[in-house]
Amino acid sequence: MDYLSSEPGQDHLLCLAGEAIEGNEISVIHLQDISVRYRLIRERRRTFQAHVINYLKGKRIAAESLWALKQIYLEIPKGESLGIIGHNGAGKSTLLKVVSGVIKPAEGEVHVEGRIAPLIELGAGFDPELTGRENIYLNAAILGFSRKEINSKFDRVVEFSELAEFVDSPLKNYSSGMVSRLAFSVAIEVDPDILIIDEVLAVGDVVFKKKSKERIMQFSQKGTTILFVSHNMDEIRTLCTKVLWLDQGIEKMMGKPEAVIPAYEAYHAV
Amino acid sequence: MKLLQEFSEILRYRELLRNLIERDIKKRYKRSALGFLWVMLDPLLMMLIFYIVFAGLFGKAVGNYTAYVITGIIMWQLFAQGTKVSSTAFIQNRNLISKIQLPTAIFPIAMVGSSFAHFIFSLIPLFIIILFSGTIPSYYLPLLPVAIALIVIFSMGISLTISTLTVFFHDVVYIYDVLLIGWMYLSAIFYPVSILPQKFQMLMSLNPLYHYISLFRACIYDTTLPIAEHLMFGTAFAVVSFAMGWTIYHRNRDKIIFYV
C-alpha cells in the first residue's frame, strides 16, 4: 500500500522530464544583453613616449570607442541553425567571437555549452613554411586534439581535402583554394556541438563548395547547433531555421528566414 | 585559482604547445644546410670567439676558462633567446588569438619551451668540451634539474611580462633588445667577478642571471662556488619574476585581443 501511494508523485516527475525532452528547449547558447566595445585606432597610444607625454599633460583621453554590439540577447536551442546577416561592420563576426569565447564582452553574460568548432577564417593557424602534413597536425592541435586523435583522423582529412599528392610540400606552394580546402577538412573533423561558420562556403571550386555544403548539412541533421554568417541569402535560406539581422551592432530583426530576408533585402534596395 | 585554471587549460593544450615548439625549431633551421646541427655549433662558435678574444685577458684569473665560458654562454642563451623571441609572441600569433579561443599564455611559454629544447641539445657540446678539456664533473650534478627549473621559471616570468607589455607598447621590443645586450655584459659570462671593483661585486648579487649562471657552473664543474647562496637567490628571483609576469599577463589578458 505504501508503495502504491507514492506512485502519483513519481508519475508527475516522469511527466515533467518527458516534457523537457520532447520540447527540446535546452538552449546551448544563451547571451544575456551582450555589449562589446572596440577602441578606435587613433586613440591607441602605442609608444611609451606618447603615453608619457599624454600622461604628463594630464590628458587622459576619454576612450573614443565604438559599440560593435549593443544589448544583444540571444537564445539558441540545441540543433538550431541561426543565420546572421547584416552589412560589413554590423557586428556579425564580433558576435561569433563572443560565442566562441575569444572576446569577453564589456557587458552582459555568456553561457555556452558544448564543444565549439570555429570555421572562422580558415587557415588562421596555418604556417606557409610548413608542409601540408605539418600544418594538419598544427591546426588540429589548435582545435584541441590530442596526438592520438590527430593520428586517427589524419587519413580522413587528407582524403576529404583531395590533396594527398601535395601533403608533403610546403604550404606556400599551395594555391589559396588548396589552403582553404585543407583547412576546411581539418576543421570539420572536430565533432562539435556548436559549429561556427564565417563565410567559408566561398572557398574552393564548385565541386568542393558543394561537398562542404553537404557536410555542413550533415552536421545540421545530426543535431549540431550552427551559427552561420553569410552575405549569400540563398545559402542562408537553405541552411538556417532562424535569422538574426544585425545593423551597427544592434538587433534589427530576428525570426524565420522567409520573414527576415525579404525585409533585409527591401531595406537595402532603397 | 585562476592561475591553476589557466595552467590546466595549457596542459590540456599540451599538444599545441608541442607543435608550437616544434614549429619554432623547424622553421629556424629548415632553410639551412646544416640544419639542426646549428643548435650545437652555435654555442661552440661563440665560445671560440670569446676564447680567442678574452682567454689571454681573463684566462689566468678564471682557471678553467673553456668550461667557464661555455657554461656562461649556454645559460645565457637559455634565458635570452627564449625571452627575446617571446617579446613578439602575442603579436606574431594575432591571427590565432583573435579568432580561436585558446589559453593565450601558451605562446610566450612555447617560446621559452623552444629555448629549453635548444638548451637540451647544447648539453651535448657542453659535455664534449668538459670531457675533452679534462675537467672533473661536479658532485653537485644531481642538482642540475633544480638549477634549470629555476632559470626556466624565471624566464617564463620575464617572457609573460615582455610579451604582454609589447602588445600595448611596441617600443618594449627595442628596449628589451638593448637591455639584453647590457645585461649580457653584466652577467659575468666571459670574465670573472673578481676583476670588478669591490662595490660592484656586491651589486652582482642583484643580477638574477649571475646566480643562475653560477648555479649552473657549480652543478657542472666548479664545486668552490657558494651553491646554497645561489640557490637561495635563484629561487627568490624565480618566484618574484613569475609572480610579476603572471600578474601583468592576467590583468591584461582580456584586453590583449583588442590591441594585438
- Span A112-163, pLDDT tens digits: 988 887 776 666 788 888 999 999 999 889 888 888 999 999 999 999 989 9
Cα distance between the two ends of chain B? 26
**Is pLDDT of A27 > 80?**
no
**pTM score, whole prediction:** 0.84
**Is pLDDT of A197 > 90?**
no
User: Would you call B223 an interface residue with chain A, using a CB distance cutoff of 8 Å?
Assistant: no
Q: What pLDDT is recorded for position A40?
A: 65
Q: What is the DSSP letter of A131?
A: B
Average pLDDT, chain A: 81
Mark yes or no for CB contact A124/B95 under 8 Å: yes
**Is pLDDT of A258 > 60?**
yes
Q: Which fold has domain A2-115+192-269?
A: Rossmann fold (3.40.50)
Q: What pLDDT is recorded for position B62?
A: 85
Taking the CA of residue A142 and the nearest CA in chain B, the distance in Å comes to 6
Query: Cell 668538459 sits at which residue?
Result: B130
Q: Could you tell me which residues of chain A have a Cβ less than 8 Å from any Cβ in chain B?
A: 38-39, 44, 46-49, 51, 97, 100-104, 116, 118, 120-121, 124-125, 127, 129-130, 134, 137-138, 141-147, 150
Q: Would you list the DSSP string of B6-75?
A: HHHHHHHTHHHHHHHHHHHHHHHHTTSSSTTHHHHHHHHHHHHHHHHHHHHHHHHHHSSHHHHHHHHHHH
Mark yes or no for CB contact A130/B101 under 8 Å: no
Mark yes or no for CB contact B98/A130 under 8 Å: no
**Is pLDDT of A5 > 50?**
no
Q: What pLDDT is recorded for position B139?
A: 92
Q: What pLDDT is recorded for position B211?
A: 97
Q: What pLDDT is recorded for position B100?
A: 85
User: Would you call B255 an interface residue with chain A, using a CB distance cutoff of 8 Å?
Assistant: no
Q: Report CA-CA distances (Å) from A140 to A136, B19, B82.
A: 6, 10, 25
Q: Which residues in chain A touch residue B171, judged by CB atoms under 8 angstroms apart? A: 47-49
- Chain B interface, best mutation among A41, A42, A46, by max B CB count within 10 A: A46
Report the distance separating Cα A263 and Cα A233, nearest Å: 12
Mark yes or no for CB contact A142/B95 under 8 Å: no
B246 sits in which H/E element: helix B227-259
Q: Report CA-CA distances (Å) from B236 to A199, B83, B214, B232, B239.
A: 51, 19, 15, 6, 5
Report the distance separating Cα B70 and Cα B35, nearest Å: 21
Averaged pLDDT for residues B116-139: 89
> What phi and psi, each to the nearest 5 degrees, are found at residue A245?
-105, 120
Which residues lie below 8 Å from residue A269, measured CB to CB, with a gap of 6+?
none
Q: Where are the domains of chain A?
A: 2-115+192-269
- Span A227-257, pLDDT tens digits: 999 888 988 998 899 999 999 999 999 999 9
Q: How many Å separate Cα B35 from the centre of its chain?
A: 22
User: What number is the ipTM of this complex?
Assistant: 0.81
Question: What value, to the nearest 5°, has the Cα angle with vertex B76 and ends B90 and B251?
Answer: 30
Q: What pLDDT is recorded for position A41?
A: 54
- B5 vs B148, more confident: B148
B51 burial class (0-12, 13-18, 19+ CB within 10 angstroms)? middle
What grid cell was written down for A217?
Answer: 548539412
Q: Which residues in chain A touch residue B25, judged by CB atoms under 8 angstroms apart? A: none
Q: How many Å separate Cα A147 from the centre of its chain?
A: 25
Mark yes or no for CB contact B98/A44 under 8 Å: no
Q: What pLDDT is recorded for position A122?
A: 63
